[in-house]
Structure 1
Amino acid sequence: MYKIPLFDLNFDEKEEQAALETIQSKWISTGPKTAAFEAKFAGMLSVKHAIALSNCTVSLHLALKLVGVEAGDEVICPSLTFVATVNAIRYVNAVPVFGDVVSYENPTISAEDIRKKITPKTKAIIVMHYGGFACDMDTIMAIAKEHDLKVIEDACHGPLAEYKRRKLGTIGDVGCFSFFSNKNISTGEGGMLITNNDDYAARTKLLRSHGMTSMSYERAKGHSTAYDVVELGYNYRMDDIHSSIGIVQLDKIQADLEKRAEVRTAYLNALNDVSGIIIPFADYTDFNSNYIFPIVLTDGDAERRDAIRAQLAEAGIQTSMHYPAVHHFSIYQEFASELPVTDFLVDHLITLPMYSKLTVEQVNYISETLKKLI
């Protein structure tokens, strides 16, 4: 066991009680709790539609289908992301075109590189708001408009985070969120697709439930007694047990993010005089989710980075690395391209512990340990 883990689940008896009440209600599949979770999420993000799904990977899959990406189309995306972002592109037999990130200080996809990668086959852009810090959405949306491209926001790291006072996920055509166990909002597994497009929302509800025109809960309540299947759909639904936990998590999220902001400030204060590291987004001013706290070593290589991580572990501090570059995975070698900034980062990134329960004393211990090792 680590003295200081990378992440700590923000659960207590409220989540237990919510799940128990749902089980006792005798309706545990998609139903009233899921509808309530969707409405609450949509309201908090000021978006017209939020559709709960079984995870964010399927949200990305459906998003690509909604915007019309088909076999052979190209989708520009980051390589510095979790592989699910790119897997979803292959689910629709499209071609991932990897864009480099802006800089060591800003590891979000580069708008300039997006522009360079556009071809007549380009159909969409997937951006990933790294760590809950926004991509340059004004420029990316302008490029998309100029070339008639759709924009999908992978906002897994950024619930309630903002870009110029707009919530991440609400700026592009479709936004996708994750509620995996280590995310800011956690239901164990789960995801959400958000959009202001009525047609996209209606089609998502069809596709998530086998293409059926009505769901079990609607029929159970007498709203319909039969259904048709009008499109080849999937079983991508979220159930009411997970949704009931999600509702409780939404009640906690604002306070959690405010505490994370304090943790980030403590880190910045403790590490501001350390040579040999870069702290990405150090001057970022928009409200953000602080999903992770990454640092970038300026010297050495992956072997040195791994050695420092091993020594931090010996000191009781769990770390990670967000992320291995997708274009280096065996399955994506055929789509690989030159991404020099991404390639440097994946050899020099360390993710330090970040969660709302971290104390200033713990942050100082992590920081002092890191200073000595560097």
Structure 2
Amino acid sequence: MYGKSLLLVSEPSLGADETAALADVISSNWITMGGRVAGFERAFAEAHGVGDAVAVNSCTAGLHLALSALGIGSGDEVIVPSLSFVATANCVIYTGARAVFADIESLERPLMSLADAEAKLTPRTRAVVVMHYAGSVADAQAWRDFASRNNLFLIEDSAHAVGQDRGPIFGDLAVFSFYGNKNMTTAEGGMILGRDKAVLERTRRARAHGMTSTTSERLNARAASYDVLSLGYNYRMSELNAALGLAQLPKLAARNAKRRLIVQTYAEAFGKRPSGLRLPLLGHAPSAHHLFPVVLPQHADRSTVMSSLYEQGIQTTIHYPPIHQLTWFRQHCPGVSLPVTEAFGARQLTLPLHPKMSEADAEYVAGSLLQLLATLAGSGT
């Protein structure tokens, strides 16, 4: 086992600051949505160059609220990538709309294909969700032009791309994830950013049952009651999650820079790679460098590669099984064919990438994979 421990694909960076932040919340005896959530919203919005933000308990909740706030519902269609976490499509279905899957551009550039999205347009298409796979941000101008030309709402699934490295917000709304494996974490949590104050206010109210005031607002105003102005959900962020976010956000730029260094180390270590091994999105900009995906040669059995690397102390995983090939979606969205996504999904492998890694770690991972692929090629496996 490498270094007597498993080198993980991702790992949160938590320490004394996060411990103290959580202890302060406990000591305050106010743990539900309050001042820390509001403070985190302001800080996150400022860090991304917008005036306001809405904190929620997951990116999934944020995507659902974003679609709902834009009026997406029954009878509508929303174009989404199949190469994403299942939540990207689930949130469309929550609204009663139909998720329409688009293919990726290529094995080297596994971002949603604008040409295929154009081909999937119908009179019912109301929105498109662009996902910044692995932290690599999609072409802002091209997608903005596409949305404007076709009178569509544009939503950024920015779960993989957070911080100034991702560049300016360009969608009507952008939604972020703070899950434990992301570039910054609140354990569970998400954030919605946008420039339309009215739309953001709809998401803010809907995250708390459509109520006109929160518990803390009623306490401070000494108000006895509230009203409900719209259908809403229980998508609130807690003070504990926000405290973690406030501790993590100031460290984000430095940690993204460390991720960029690890990616550069990988690029050098894989410089003389065998035919068939692809390093998608290498050199793509802008990028928050959330994942380091590779595409294995066709001759390499992925399960064998993953097991062999694990024996050498290297965890690997897959991002992602294409959504349209998952059982529920095969049953409810039959007949979907996305050849490039399917080819990518069959051969993709995610290698470790996180700020706790050293350059030597990245060199070890790359060397181990290259040696293993050479062995498999020699044996015909």
- Tell me the TM-score normalized by structure 2: 0.94
Question: How far is 1:281 from its partner?
Answer: 1.2
Deviations 1:21-65 (A, max 9, x none): 011011110000000000000000011221000111010101111
Letter in 2 for 1:339: L
Alignment check: 8 A CA contact 2:58 2:188 kept: yes
Per the alignment, residue 215 of structure 1 pairs with 214
Per the alignment, residue 283 of structure 1 pairs with 283
- Match of residue 329, structure 1, among 326, 330, 340: 326
Query: What is the SS of the residue equivalent to 2:43?
Result: helix
Question: How far is 1:9 from its partner?
Answer: 1.3
Question: How far is 1:299 from its partner?
Answer: 1.8
Alignment check: 8 A CA contact 1:69 1:123 kept: yes
**In structure 2, distance between residues paired with 1:134 and 1:201:** 22
Per the alignment, residue 314 of structure 1 pairs with 311
**In structure 1, distance between residues paired with 2:92 and 2:342:** 22
Q: Is 2:143 the counterpart of 1:134? A: no
Alignment check: 8 A CA contact 2:47 2:164 kept: no
Per the alignment, residue 158 of structure 1 pairs with 161
Per the alignment, residue 252 of structure 1 pairs with 251
Alignment check: 8 A CA contact 1:321 1:351 kept: yes
**In structure 2, distance between residues paired with 1:17 and 1:127:** 37
Alignment check: 8 A CA contact 1:56 1:192 kept: yes
**In structure 1, distance between residues paired with 2:5 and 2:308:** 12
**In structure 2, distance between residues paired with 1:98 and 1:368:** 36
**In structure 2, distance between residues paired with 1:136 and 1:104:** 17
Query: What is the SS of the residue equivalent to 2:221?
Result: coil
Alignment size in residue pairs: 367
Q: Which runs of 5+ in 2 are unaligned?
A: 374-381
Letter in 1 for 2:58: N
- Match of residue 86, structure 2, among 83, 86, 104: 83
Q: Which runs of 5+ in 1 are unaligned?
A: none
Query: What is the SS of the residue equivalent to 1:311?
Result: helix
Letter in 1 for 2:277: I
Deviations 1:164-192 (A, max 9, x none): xx33xx21111111111111111111111
- Match of residue 121, structure 1, among 121, 124, 129: 124
Letter in 2 for 1:295: V
Per the alignment, residue 366 of structure 1 pairs with 365
Letter in 2 for 1:234: Y
Per the alignment, residue 377 of structure 2 pairs with none
**In structure 2, distance between residues paired with 1:241 and 1:363:** 33
**In structure 2, distance between residues paired with 1:11 and 1:179:** 13
Identical aligned pairs, as a percentage?
Answer: 36
Per the alignment, residue 184 of structure 1 pairs with 183
- Tell me the TM-score normalized by structure 1: 0.95
Alignment check: 8 A CA contact 1:132 1:161 kept: no
Letter in 1 for 2:290: Y
Deviations 1:262-282 (A, max 9, x none): 101000000021113111112
Question: How far is 1:283 from its partner?
Answer: 2.8
Root mean square deviation of aligned Cα: 1.3
**In structure 1, distance between residues paired with 2:89 and 2:106:** 21
What stretches of structure 1 move > 2 A for 4+ residues in a row? 223-226
- Quick check: 326-335 or 338-347, which moved more? 326-335
Alignment check: 8 A CA contact 2:164 2:253 kept: no
Question: How far is 1:136 from its partner?
Answer: 2.1
**In structure 1, distance between residues paired with 2:151 and 2:95:** 20
